[in-house]
Amino acid sequence: MPTLTLDRAQAIVGHAENEFSTGKQIDDAFAPFARGGASTRGEALDAIFIVIADFYRMASRSGSGASSEMEEFSAYARLSGSIAMRLASVSISDKTGSQQIAITDNRETVDSFVRFLRTLNPETSNFWPTVYQRIGLTLPAAPQTRPSISTTSSGKKPWWRFW
């Protein structure tokens, strides 16, 4: 499995963004992430966490924590929680045909990850090593310092608002 760099995480999540933005019914939330390059549900979740951390890093640089960027980050994180829950679970039908949800990946929630991020200073050199350690991944050799996705409007709805 390839290393989950920031670029790769953004590519995986970006592909899912494009599929969710069509407005079509997506029964299995993992499918768009798989088509974007995620090999497992866990890797898709890891990609979401890395993108959330990068969004937090960029939003924190912009102001005091009460800025519009931090408000966008909070909305992003809140809405990403529902898709993360869908990624961590699958629907199973029993013999009678009734649906049950089974948790397949016992991971931390987006809410607890965001609380953790808020304890970090994204300007320090240990931000990415600490984030990767929390996720349970080895930090890639490539630096995690390139500019991130823009949080400003490009005329297209942000991907996370489609969930």
Whether 151 has a pLDDT exceeding 90, the answer reads no
1: in domain: no
128: three-class secondary structure by DSSP: helix
Q: Which of 22-26, 56-60, 154-158 has the highest mean pLDDT?
A: 56-60
Q: How far apart are CA 139 and CA 124, in angstroms?
A: 15
pTM of the predicted protein model:
0.80
30: in domain: yes
Whether 64 has a pLDDT exceeding 90, the answer reads no
73: in domain: yes
CB atoms near residue 158 (< 10 Å): 16
Question: In terms of residue numbers, what domain contains 124?
Answer: 6-162
56: in domain: yes
Q: How far apart are CA 61 and CA 150, in angstroms?
A: 13
